[in-house]
A and B are shown apart, each in its own frame.
Chain A
Amino acid sequence: MKWIASIGAGVESIFSHTGSYTLMLLQLLRKLGSRPWYARQLIAQAEQVGVQSLPVVLLTALFTGMVLALQSYIVFHRFAAESLTGLVVSMSLVRELGPVLVGLMVAGRVGASFAAELGTMRVTEQIDALWTLSTDPFRYLVTPRVLAVTLMLPLLTIIADYIGIYGGYAISVYVLDQNPVVYVENTTVYMELEDFYSGLIKAAFFGMLIGVIGCTEGFNCKGGAAGVGTATTHAVVISCMSILVSDYFLTAWLFG
């Protein structure tokens, strides 16, 4: 009956983790209401998030757009509706795959580095040192990171959407010999601004998840180098899972 115990422990840890993330988020909102805000830290972190994520995001988006074009062409070809390829590629990217894939990639890069960085600072007493130097560690470390990734994720998603759509276009036009004018027209005529927005709202939400989870894991880290390792793993696994789970609910909500 080991597996029952393991499920029980899993459920318990989900609740305790969720609790600590909620506390972190509430504290963040409370502290956002007053000075100091450390704008310079925010800018530095935003830059860092961009630099860390852009290469993986670009590559992922490009190939996802390309493979989407291939797959949907194969399906649409069966009932002679190839001209819809462009629309399907763009809609899937903009509404769904753009934010989710960017979220997953950024969780792996940025969420992990938040947890590792703050975790190391915790176990080497650097976070305590900030306090003794009359600096609120939460405002100095956590707030800028969470804000940075929340603001950057929509931006990265816009870039990913464009690159992905371009990848789909390139495959359709140059490999599958489709008419470029029809492709672009079908894409632009049927796509609505709302499709775009819903993707960006998702992206911002995923960014907040990544930031809060990564920072909580790092900030509350215990137990030396091993603790930092555990915190980092938790940050990545939990943010990826929560992105996928919350994606369903966000879609259902934005749909309704």
Chain B
Amino acid sequence: MSATNKPSLPRISIRGLSKSFNGNIVLEDVDLDIMPGDSTTVIGMSGTGKSVLIKCVLGLLRPDAGEILVDGENWLALPEQEHLQRMRRIGMLFQGAALFDSLKVWENVAFALLRQNVPKKQAHERAHEVLEWVGLHDVGDLMPSELSGGMAKRVGLARTICHKPDIVFFDEPTTGLDPIMSDVINRLIVRLHKGSGTTMLSITHDLRSAEMISDHIALLCHGRIHRIIRANELTSDQDPMLRQFVEGRASGPINCSPWGKKIEEVIDR
């Protein structure tokens, strides 16, 4: 896929994306381009709408306005069945891994292949290959409820990449894991990125992880992408909002009011 003028076309292009829930504006006119083979991480406070952003891109939520262009094609305008076909190119790791608890680990990993009528034996082999890749042996016949958090996350990662997607999404890949397991996950993501040139869009508030796994970092704040930098500029960039976020200060240009309003709602109740 390296035609001469291809690199000028973003793999994913988010245009004017807006989304509100019951009048509560979460995303307002978000624009973001991700070039082929690029890994971009969106950082931002909890509740700023990072998950909503990724869900709009995947078609899990209908945005109020905006376009999601993948290789120039607006996926939101596709009929449902065709949109589903396109999802074969996509891998998504959910925050809680979202493994299907009624299926065995290997059936989870090979889910997309089994649905696409790949012979069972072949799917089974591929599942074990990917499980090995994330460093798990002999877990194929366990049920997801028998796994620890870190193992579940790695099985989730295996399921995400089993069908060889060329665009992968990560929702808080390291949140809720211990520092060592976080490092394991980060390294696996880096290995995936370096090894296969997969295009990635991640969201996290874990700065260490963002620095490790991405080429570009975008700060989402007050419903918009406020600033995009190269990952190695995270500590040196002088933008006041970015500085506040990186240094973790409650006071500063980032308005905590959505968070404050929530607290009031809780107290009023």
Task: Tell me the A109-131 residues at the B interface (CB within 8 Å).
Answer: 120-121, 124-126, 128-129, 131
B88 located at the interface, meaning its Cβ lies under 8 Å from any Cβ of chain A in the complex: yes
Q: Closest residue to A132 on the B side, CB-wise?
A: B92
B87 engages A131 (CB within 8 Å): yes
A126 engages B100 (CB within 8 Å): yes
Complex partner residue of A132 from B58, B80, B95, B101, CB under 8 angstroms = B58
B1 located at the interface, meaning its Cβ lies under 8 Å from any Cβ of chain A in the complex: no
B96 engages A124 (CB within 8 Å): yes
Q: Per-residue 0/1 for B82-126: is the Cβ within 8 Å of any A Cβ (1 yes, 0 no)?
A: 001101101110111011110000000001100110000000000
A136 engages B96 (CB within 8 Å): no
A131 engages B112 (CB within 8 Å): no
A6 located at the interface, meaning its Cβ lies under 8 Å from any Cβ of chain B in the complex: no
B111 engages A133 (CB within 8 Å): yes
B150 located at the interface, meaning its Cβ lies under 8 Å from any Cβ of chain A in the complex: no
A128 engages B94 (CB within 8 Å): yes
Interface residue count for B (Cβ, 8 Å)?
Answer: 27
In the complex with contacts A131-B84, A133-B87, A125-B59 CB distance below 8 A: no
A136 to chain B: which residues have CB within 8 Å? 80-81, 84
B60 located at the interface, meaning its Cβ lies under 8 Å from any Cβ of chain A in the complex: yes
B15 located at the interface, meaning its Cβ lies under 8 Å from any Cβ of chain A in the complex: no
A188 located at the interface, meaning its Cβ lies under 8 Å from any Cβ of chain B in the complex: no
User: Nearest Cβ in chain B — how far from A158, in angstroms?
Assistant: 29
User: Nearest Cβ in chain B — how far from A45, in angstroms?
Assistant: 11
User: Nearest Cβ in chain B — how far from A204, in angstroms?
Assistant: 27
User: Nearest Cβ in chain B — how far from A129, in angstroms?
Assistant: 4
A135 located at the interface, meaning its Cβ lies under 8 Å from any Cβ of chain B in the complex: yes
A128 engages B84 (CB within 8 Å): no
B112 engages A134 (CB within 8 Å): yes
Q: Per-residue 0/1 for B24-64: is the Cβ within 8 Å of any A Cβ (1 yes, 0 no)?
A: 00000000000000000000000000000001001110000
A135 to chain B: which residues have CB within 8 Å? 84, 111-112, 115
In the complex with contacts A124-B96, A125-B96, A131-B59 CB distance below 8 A: yes
A134 engages B88 (CB within 8 Å): yes
Q: Closest residue to B85 on the A side, CB-wise?
A: A134
A132 engages B115 (CB within 8 Å): no
B169 to chain A: which residues have CB within 8 Å? 132
User: Nearest Cβ in chain A — how far from B202, in angstroms?
Assistant: 15
Q: How far does the alpha carbon of A87 sit from the alpha carbon of B101 in the complex, in Å?
A: 49
A128 engages B98 (CB within 8 Å): yes
Complex partner residue of B58 from A124, A126, A131, CB under 8 angstroms = A131
Q: How far does the alpha carbon of A120 sit from the alpha carbon of B91 in the complex, in Å?
A: 22
B98 engages A124 (CB within 8 Å): yes
Q: How far does the alpha carbon of A132 sit from the alpha carbon of B115 in the complex, in Å?
A: 12
Q: Closest residue to A136 on the B side, CB-wise?
A: B84
Q: How far does the alpha carbon of A136 sit from the alpha carbon of B60 in the complex, in Å?
A: 11
Q: Per-residue 0/1 for A61-101: is the Cβ within 8 Å of any B Cβ (1 yes, 0 no)?
A: 00000000000000000000000000000000000000000
User: Nearest Cβ in chain A — how far from B159, in angstroms?
Assistant: 8
- Report which residue of A120, A128, A132 has the largest number of chain B beta carbons within 10 angstroms of its beta carbon: A132
The 10 closest A-B pairs by CB, nearest first: A132-B92, A134-B87, A129-B98, A125-B98, A133-B112, A125-B94, A128-B60, A126-B98, A134-B88, A134-B84
| 28 pairs from A and B in contact (CB 8 Å cutoff) | A121-B100, A124-B98, A126-B98, A126-B99, A128-B55, A128-B58, A128-B92, A131-B58, A131-B60, A131-B84, A132-B58, A132-B87, A132-B90, A132-B91, A132-B92, A132-B169, A133-B87, A133-B115, A134-B84, A134-B87, A134-B88, A134-B90, A134-B112, A134-B115, A134-B116, A135-B84, A136-B80, A136-B84
5 more A-B contacts (CB under 8 A) besides A34-B81, A128-B92? A125-B94, A126-B100, A133-B159, A134-B84, A134-B115
Q: Name A's B-contacting residues (CB within 8 A).
A: 34, 120-121, 124-126, 128-129, 131-136
